[in-house]
């Protein structure tokens, strides 16, 4: 069980190198036996769920929520799917609307405070797998969605959800949006805007009354401007400030009742460092929340390994180790049956 603090390797002390290492330097190989399903939503739209089957019906299921513009190809998704597969768990990734390679039917997209689809997927999985315990992990934007879902108490959460992990959450969206527009972090902002603008232009052609004119979209240069001109009005907020204040995860940490590990790096280039101090204060009297704020790790980085040619993902060990602590003996027995069979035939 990996519960030790994170220690970065000597060659990965820089938070930006940590952030991009898994995506560009050592991508995770795909996990076998993964399928995609299209699920219709209650509002006449659809989402894609990427699924890893478990051999045992009682085996736990890991439900994943990805970050901004992520999908099943995100390096951490592959690492977490592999961690689930090794334990005999099932796994399900919710691809947020428009993140599966196709535009969703409704004008709306997804955003950091939209918990309806996450609640719907958790509920459907609980109904489909009544014998299985659910555990959840949200990363970056998906982590903010998960924290808000668990702490707000508005959208339903199934009782079979035993525990959760929230990784590199942008707890203060307003300050994070300003922070990512400075220094080297501009690289990340431009990366996100490349696809966000393209999707918005495609949606504008379908729904010209719901989106700004194409030339206005093309001139968007910051995430703040994108949220002010597109995210906020499209999803019922007055402006970007209203969206950020009503959706920021730090406001919901106190209300979490499901055992939850919140793991972040103090050197996360997506967020000012003192935001995590505010989260510590908010979570201080909540026994359901475990905070692990490490000095290093970047944004969803947390790379470990002795040399640049032998690296691994600390989160892929720490996340399931925490979730394991909140699974009962029956859950563990179901999850280990497949591993025992494999060992007997090896």
Helix residue ranges per DSSP H, the chain: 15-20, 75-87, 116-128, 141-152, 173-179, 186-206, 214-218, 223-226, 232-234, 240-247, 274-283, 315-324, 329-345
Q: Which two tokens stand for residue 269?
A: 């280039």
| Rounded (10°) angle between helices 315-324 and 75-87 | 40
- Residue 299 annotated as catalytic: yes
Q: Which two tokens stand for residue 158?
A: 């199934």
Nearest to 89 by CA among 63, 119, 66, 70: 63
If you search the block for the tokens 């280039």, which residue do you land on? 269
Those residues with Cβ within 8 angstroms of residue 100's Cβ, 6 or more apart along the chain or in another chain:
36, 47, 48, 71
* Catalytic entry in 92, 268, 282, 324: 268
* Catalytic entry in 74, 98, 112, 140: 140
* Catalytic entry in 75, 251, 296, 299: 299
Q: What is the Cα–Cα distance from 243 to 237, expressed in whole angstroms?
A: 6
Which residues have a catalytic role annotated?
Answer: 140, 268, 299
């Amino acid at each position: 069980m990996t519960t030790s603090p994170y220690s970065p390797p000597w060659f990965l002390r820089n938070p930006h190198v940590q952030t991009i290492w898994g995506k560009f330097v050592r991508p995770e190989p795909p996990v076998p036996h993964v399928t995609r399903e299209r699920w219709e939503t209650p509002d006449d739209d659809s989402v894609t769920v990427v699924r890893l089957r478990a051999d045992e019906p009682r085996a736990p299921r890991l439900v994943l929520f990805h970050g901004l513009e992520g999908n099943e190809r995100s390096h951490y998704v592959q690492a977490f799917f592999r961690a689930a597969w090794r334990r005999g768990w099932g796994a399900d990734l919710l691809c947020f609307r428009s993140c599966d390679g196709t535009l969703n039917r409704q004008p709306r997209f997804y955003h950091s405070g939209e918990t309806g689809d996450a609640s719907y997927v958790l509920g459907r999985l609980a109904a489909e797998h009544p014998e299985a315990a659910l555990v959840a992990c949200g990363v970056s934007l998906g982590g903010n969605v998960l924290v808000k879902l668990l702490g707000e108490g508005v959208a339903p959460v199934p009782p079979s959800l035993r525990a959760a992990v929230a990784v590199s959450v942008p707890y203060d969206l307003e300050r994070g949006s300003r922070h990512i527009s400075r220094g080297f972090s501009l690289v990340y902002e431009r990366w996100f805007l490349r696809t966000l603008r393209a999707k918005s232009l495609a949606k504008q052609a379908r729904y010209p009354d719901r989106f700004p004119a194409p030339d206005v979209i093309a001139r968007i240069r910051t995430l703040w401007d994108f949220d002010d001109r597109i995210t906020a009005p499209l999803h019922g907020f007055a402006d970007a400030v209203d969206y950020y204040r009503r959706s920021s995860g730090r406001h919901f940490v106190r209300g979490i009742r499901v055992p939850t590990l919140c793991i972040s790096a103090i050197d996360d280039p997506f967020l000012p460092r003192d935001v995590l101090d505010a989260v510590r204060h908010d979570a201080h009297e909540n026994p359901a929340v475990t905070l692990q704020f490490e000095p290093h790790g970047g944004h969803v980085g947390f790379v470990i390994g002795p040399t640049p040619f032998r690296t691994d993902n600390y989160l892929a060990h720490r996340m399931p180790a925490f979730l394991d602590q909140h699974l009962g003996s029956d859950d563990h027995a179901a999850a280990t049956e497949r591993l025992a069979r494999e060992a007997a035939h090896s």
